Structure 1
């Protein structure tokens, strides 16, 4: 039956995803198998970048009210709201842009897919600084686009990175430039002036620019958000993405959104959005989460304190971790590798000791460089993880 599939679908089959997550892997079964195989009481999921403190106490309070049961059962027999007026208004105040500038989707991956479908034709050139979020490559390839990569020197975004990207846009016709900020997976925050420099040139070369801020809240401050959405009024070629899956810790809600000042881009992306991308309950949880800015500020503070204590442990002379290299990050995740042990072997060793990490060894830009990524947990779990690292032998 493969001959009955579209040409682009058959093309998509030719590229295997480089991401550490796979659609055909049941993570819950994997965890149970590890427990049985190695006699583990618990397996810690350090491979997913969500907020380990959980969702807002405001949501917890609502979940515990007797009235919620009636609301949930009543909503099951109705289609969910499709205009998202309340959430639009809340986000508009948050980003200081008009409420009609938002487009919603079932998680950022679907929004990214809709963008690719909306703007890419087969043969278009797409520019991607790497390492980056692998989904950018997957969705662009599925549309038949040609992928052009710009590798980060020493895995850090700097002035040289901006110059090289600008040089590529001047020399070639690129339909789209994909950026994650903070960068997924390195966690580095890209300064606003670097984004604006790229935007300014992209607006002249006819290049669309997507800034995926899935981890953006980790770079915000208590009194303002540090988002490229501040540039939307000036640059209609910009699309800014955020999600409720990371710092808000609502990954199952699957609420992601795009902001754009271009009506044409919003209409195009909305064309590929299903009529009801997420449930009433998901929408309700997102509306509550966006209200609790105090909790987001608290999570950001906790994360920084945990990270400071983690760095203090690994930098001690007697840490026993001198064979490891950890990269600093502006988020709740850290990339790391071992001087002598490859990524697959290290990943397997840590899994056998009860710690699932993200294996980045196939990711474009850091392929075969031995990197894994871990999400910071509480101090006790972090110390157990470092104890497991100390046991590594080659």
Structure 2
């Protein structure tokens, strides 16, 4: 089974090493040896710490994909173009593809799936979400006979590390992010992680599979963690919660649509996701028959990602030898993606108010006017000032947002000092 590898960075190099180190085992599992016949890179002349023939490297990735002696293509370059053209060419030629490219799958996955289906070949991408965590195959195959209600996950190690440090040490956002960078968890430009783009791409992919509907990254509501403060972390602790950056995809029973979103949220410390620390990832799946399932592990890094890629390679190679195709993408349900305003959630609201009679009643009136029920209230007096902390019952996000906007203009409310969604059950 002859393989073309596109990309030889951290992940690609690890794939090369594992292909060589585990050659005997991989051949026994597949039924044929796996032979690397070419590696597409931008700079073939670059010296790499890999004990392989330098002639394997080429800058002509498109030519490599088109070669007659290539049976299978692995892509770990990332980005939209030119990876999209390379993979479409491979699939249209009937060559199965294994990719870790979450950005491409989340933006134009439909074109890749259509090309694979038309050619009767495989498109596998376990490594695109959660690194080595086996998540894509369970959603795609193991739960194919069930109905998934909700997928709730921590799918970005950088943001989870930052929020863990803020929670456990009292560090500010800037201090925690600097530590993440020093330890190699955050890129020099961490915006893709901190602003939620990475998690949004993964959320789109999970929603596609869980709900058998076309979802792209443009459908995902996204809020980063840059505005999370030490006060938010402390307030969460006081109500028995912690703050996590969550990717949420859920099906609405009332509207038969789906909600897909990425944002920081408070979750109860009793929830399984609350204990996911530092750069680890975890995804919590709720299904009608299977109940609650959790998938946990290292969500990034060269070795974990390469492990997921090679797991797909073995599956795809077996299919090709047997003359069959694995399970493809199903979007038969075509459920609409709901706007964030129609998504049902809960809010934690922190208000700075004047400590005078009637302020609480005024605040409660604003919630009532938008048909939002208050679950709990905590008031702390500080001389002429006071702090009001309110947690709502579930309500449409549009109603909750409108309530917060009205609160900003109320007499007696000095400031809305904090607003955060609450997920994961009633804390």
Normalising by structure 2, we get a TM-score of 0.27
Bigger relative contact order (CA 8 A; separation at least 6): 1
Say which structure is richer in strand: 2
Normalising by structure 1, we get a TM-score of 0.29
Say which structure is richer in helix: 1
